[in-house]
């Protein structure tokens, strides 16, 4: 496999390009600039097209923000894409603390705990395995790695239903472990770490450490891990988000309201509200709860853009 090279902006390099020497950068940038100048008038049309697309993708998010600031009455009566008088966001947040004893915040806390514990665990395991696959040529390596790659195609239900039956035998269903333990499995993270390790850790460096008398484990922790830091952040981020977004697994494993993550909890409120019983219609809490729950992810996504995009595109470019 060739070194995946992803030239994005000049300022923010993705982790993919880090370490891969690119002597022809400035020449390519020059060529790109010339190409741009040659474009001329078609650029207006292109910008209009992009703006239309951007509007389509952003309007529902804007709607969520606006809807989070409305009372249930306001959700019914006011224009969908603009604010209602008076602003109800803080009243809604207070409502989230009151409704069912503030269970929403338990859900949010559960989401954090499940995501972080399984994310950290999956990352540690993936870094170790990625290094093992990248830098050691043991017998059976190709076969085992092929099996791991192939497992990406196994549908979730085929796993979740038997996982449920197995974990229920150990009394782990309806506890956080039922979500955390299966989420430690992240074959894609192993693949990412292998590719990244191959591209950024030179064999000579490891060999030099060995000659200096460092053991295999010491070489790994003191020489290799620091070099892998950008990829570790990316894999950690992707693992955390993967668990945070997962729906099928917690839906199957958890029925006790106290154990739900925020995604499954909000879906429950939605189902109850749609089923229609008067006191259970909490539309304003659903919109404000959904809005608050996407804030951490949207923020991390804006602040840590280069890690996100690095991970998403890594391994896709040949």
Partner 1 sequence: MATHTLTTPSRRRATGHARRQRVGWLFITPFLVIFAAFLIFPLIYAFGMSLFSSTLATGTKFVGAANYLKAFTDPLFLGGLGRVALYAVVMIPAQLLVALVAALVLDTLGTWLAKASRLLIFAPYAIPVVIGALMWSFLYSPRFGPAGTIFGLFGLDAPDFLASSAIFGSLVNIVTWQWSGYYMIVIYAALRSIDPSIYEAARVDGASGLQIATRIKVPMIASSMVMVITFALIGTLQFFTEPTVLRSIASGALPAEYTPNMYAYALAFSYSQFNYASTIAFSLAIVVFIGSFGFLFLTRKQNGLK
In the complex, least distance from residue 94 CB atom to partner 1, rounded to whole angstroms: 22
196 lies in the binding site for partner 1 (CB under 8 A): no
- Residues 93-122, interacting with partner 1 (CB under 8 A): none
Instruction: Report yes or no: 174 and 241 within 8 Å, Cβ to Cβ.
Output: no
143 lies in the binding site for partner 1 (CB under 8 A): no
Integer Cα distance of 43 and 31 in angstroms: 18
252 lies in the binding site for partner 1 (CB under 8 A): yes
What angle is formed at CA 315 by the lines to CA 311 and CA 317, rounded to 5 degrees?
110
277 lies in the binding site for partner 1 (CB under 8 A): no
Pick the closer one to partner 1 by CB: 28 or 229: 28
Write the CB contacts of 242 (distance below 8 Å, at least 6 apart in sequence). Answer: 119, 183, 186
Pick the closer one to partner 1 by CB: 90 or 248: 248
Instruction: Report yes or no: 246 and 232 within 8 Å, Cβ to Cβ.
Output: no
In the complex, least distance from residue 313 CB atom to partner 1, rounded to whole angstroms: 4
208 lies in the binding site for partner 1 (CB under 8 A): no
In the complex, least distance from residue 90 CB atom to partner 1, rounded to whole angstroms: 21
Which of the stretches 83-91, 94-102, 163-171, 172-180 binds partner 1 when contact is defined by CB under 8 A?
Answer: 163-171
Handedness of CA 312, 314, 315, 318 (dihedral sign): positive
Integer Cα distance of 68 and 285 in angstroms: 8
Which of the stretches 83-91, 101-109, 226-234, 282-290 binds partner 1 when contact is defined by CB under 8 A?
Answer: 282-290
Integer Cα distance of 307 and 45 in angstroms: 31
80 lies in the binding site for partner 1 (CB under 8 A): yes
How many chain residues interact with partner 1 (CB under 8 A)? Answer: 113
Residue from 87, 94, 154, 208 in contact with partner 1 (CB under 8 A) = 154
- Could you tell me the two tokens for 83? 């604010």
Please give the backbone phi and psi of residue 247, each rounded to the nearest 5 degrees, phi first.
Answer: -120, -50
Integer Cα distance of 257 and 272 in angstroms: 13
- Residues 288-307, interacting with partner 1 (CB under 8 A): 290, 293-294, 297-298, 300-302, 305
């Amino acid at each position: 496999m060739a070194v995946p090279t992803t030239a994005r902006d000049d300022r923010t390099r993705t982790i993919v390009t880090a370490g891969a020497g690119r002597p022809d950068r400035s020449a390519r940038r020059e060529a790109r600039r010339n190409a741009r100048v040659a474009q001329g008038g078609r650029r207006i049309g292109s910008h209009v097209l992009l703006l239309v697309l951007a509007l389509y993708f952003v309007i529902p998010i804007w709607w969520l923000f606006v809807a989070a600031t409305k009372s249930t009455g306001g959700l019914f009566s006011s224009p969908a894409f603009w604010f209602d008088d008076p602003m109800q966001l803080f009243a809604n947040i207070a409502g989230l603390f009151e409704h069912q004893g503030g269970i929403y915040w338990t859900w949010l806390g559960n989401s954090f705990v499940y995501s972080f514990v399984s994310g950290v665990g999956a990352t540690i395991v993936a870094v170790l395995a990625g290094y093992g696959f990248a830098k050691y040529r043991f017998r059976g390596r190709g076969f085992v790695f092929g099996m791991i790659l192939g497992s990406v195609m196994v549908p979730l239900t085929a796993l979740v239903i038997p996982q449920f039956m197995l974990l229920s035998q150990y009394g782990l269903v309806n506890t956080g472990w039922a979500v955390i333990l299966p989420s430690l499995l992240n074959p894609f993270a192993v693949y990412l770490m292998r590719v990244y390790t191959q591209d950024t850790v030179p064999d000579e460096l490891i060999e030099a450490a060995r000659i200096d008398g460092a053991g295999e484990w010491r070489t790994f922790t003191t020489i290799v891990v620091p070099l892998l830091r950008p990829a570790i952040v990316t894999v950690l981020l992707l693992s955390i988000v993967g668990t945070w977004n997962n729906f099928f697994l917690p839906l199957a494993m958890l029925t006790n309201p106290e154990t739900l993550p925020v995604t499954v909890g909000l879906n429950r409120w939605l189902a109850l509200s749609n089923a229609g019983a008067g006191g259970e219609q909490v539309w304003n809490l659903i919109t404000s709860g959904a809005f608050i729950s996407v804030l951490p992810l949207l923020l991390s996504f804006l602040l840590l853009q280069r890690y996100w995009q690095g991970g998403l595109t890594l391994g896709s470019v040949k």
